[in-house]
């Protein structure tokens, strides 16, 4: 829906408010006691409508209808082609490229890495030097092409980043249905 005429909105709010108060919306005079507009259920309805209209007014007349997005379409993976070794977040960016985000949910890396951990390709270890947990590939993960690179961050602090080569990326693509369904299979 587009934008609403704010003047009409103001008048509508005023008329609804008058009816909620048991008054004629046009001349603001009290309605007869037996008027259907004095029914408590109708009055509650008018107050509800008034609240909704005030919210529309607060949004300056803009109405947006939030549509529920469908799950990531597996057929979108046909667009994938290896470009270079990537971190998981950059790999997800590449996979999501060109996806109709109004219609579909994007893939996110936590679902992928959780599945890889459950399958034994990644592990979480404690980095005692920095008192933090790090995700690293297991021997099984290295066999499919997951590896780490040391990088240098702010203030010269070194850290490891997990990288996925062509084989690891293809492995994820090939197993995407299981990943999305959360299916852990024994290998």
Considering the domain boundaries, does residue 106 fall inside one?
A: yes
* pLDDT number for residue 145: 98
CB 95, CB 86: distance < 8 Å: no
Considering the domain boundaries, does residue 85 fall inside one?
A: yes
CB 106, CB 99: distance < 8 Å: yes
Considering the domain boundaries, does residue 27 fall inside one?
A: yes
Whether residues 125 and 43 share a domain: the answer is no
- Over residues 126-157, the pLDDT tens digits come to 888 768 889 999 999 999 999 999 988 778 88
Task: Give 96's pLDDT tier (boundaries 50, 70, 90).
Answer: very high
Whether residues 84 and 134 share a domain: the answer is yes
Q: 41 φ, ψ to 5°?
A: -65, -40
Whether residues 78 and 40 share a domain: the answer is no
Mean predicted lDDT score pLDDT of the chain:
88
Name the more confident of 160 and 65.
160
Report the number of distinct structural domains present in the chain.
2
Task: Give 173's pLDDT tier (boundaries 50, 70, 90).
Answer: very high
pTM of the model: 0.63
* pLDDT number for residue 186: 65
How many angstroms separate the CA atoms of 153 and 159, rounded? Answer: 7
Whether residues 117 and 152 share a domain: the answer is yes
Whether residues 32 and 95 share a domain: the answer is no
Considering the domain boundaries, does residue 66 fall inside one?
A: no
* pLDDT number for residue 3: 67
CB 180, CB 71: distance < 8 Å: yes
Considering the domain boundaries, does residue 186 fall inside one?
A: no
CB 121, CB 105: distance < 8 Å: no
Considering the domain boundaries, does residue 65 fall inside one?
A: no
Whether residues 167 and 101 share a domain: the answer is yes
Q: Which of 187, 86, 107 is nearest to 143 (CA)?
A: 187
Task: Give 184's pLDDT tier (boundaries 50, 70, 90).
Answer: confident
**Degrees (nearest 5) of the Cα angle 177, 183, 186?**
115
Residue 31 pLDDT > 90: no
How far from chain centre, in Å, is Cα 165? 28
The tokens describing 39, both together, are 């029914």
The string of DSSP codes covering 149-176 is EEEE-GGG-EEEEEEE-HHHHHHHHHTH
Whether residues 118 and 175 share a domain: the answer is yes
- Over residues 155-169, the pLDDT tens digits come to 888 888 999 999 999
- What is the percent of the chain with per-residue pLDDT over 90, rounded to a whole number? 47
Q: 70 φ, ψ to 5°?
A: -80, 160
Whether residues 33 and 114 share a domain: the answer is no
User: Domain range for residue 32?
Assistant: 6-58
* pLDDT number for residue 44: 85
Whether residues 125 and 167 share a domain: the answer is yes
Whether residues 54 and 78 share a domain: the answer is no
Considering the domain boundaries, does residue 69 fall inside one?
A: no
Whether residues 51 and 108 share a domain: the answer is no
Mean pLDDT computed over 99-110 = 91
Distance between first and last Cα of the chain = 51
Task: Give 33's pLDDT tier (boundaries 50, 70, 90).
Answer: confident
Considering the domain boundaries, does residue 187 fall inside one?
A: no
Whether residues 41 and 92 share a domain: the answer is no
């Amino acid at each position: 829906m587009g934008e609403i005429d704010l003047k009409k909105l103001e008048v509508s709010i005023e008329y609804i408010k008058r009816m909620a108060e048991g008054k004629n919306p046009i001349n603001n005079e009290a309605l007869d006691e037996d008027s259907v507009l004095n029914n408590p259920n109708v009055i509650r309805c008018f107050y509800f409508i008034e609240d909704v209209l005030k919210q529309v007014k607060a949004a300056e007349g803009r109405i947006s209808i939030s549509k529920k997005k469908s799950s990531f379409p597996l057929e979108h993976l046909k667009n994938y082609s290896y470009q270079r070794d990537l971190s998981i977040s950059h790999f997800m960016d590449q996979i999501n490229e060109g996806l109709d985000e109004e219609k579909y949910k994007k893939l996110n890396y936590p679902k992928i890495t959780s599945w890889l951990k459950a399958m034994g390709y990644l592990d979480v270890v404690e980095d005692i030097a920095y008192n933090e947990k790090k995700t690293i590939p297991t021997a099984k993960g290295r066999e499919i092409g997951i590896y780490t690179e040391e990088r240098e961050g702010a203030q010269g602090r070194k850290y490891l980043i997990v990288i996925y080569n062509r084989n690891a990326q293809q492995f994820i693509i090939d197993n995407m249905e299981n990943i999305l369904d959360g299916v852990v299979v024994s290998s």
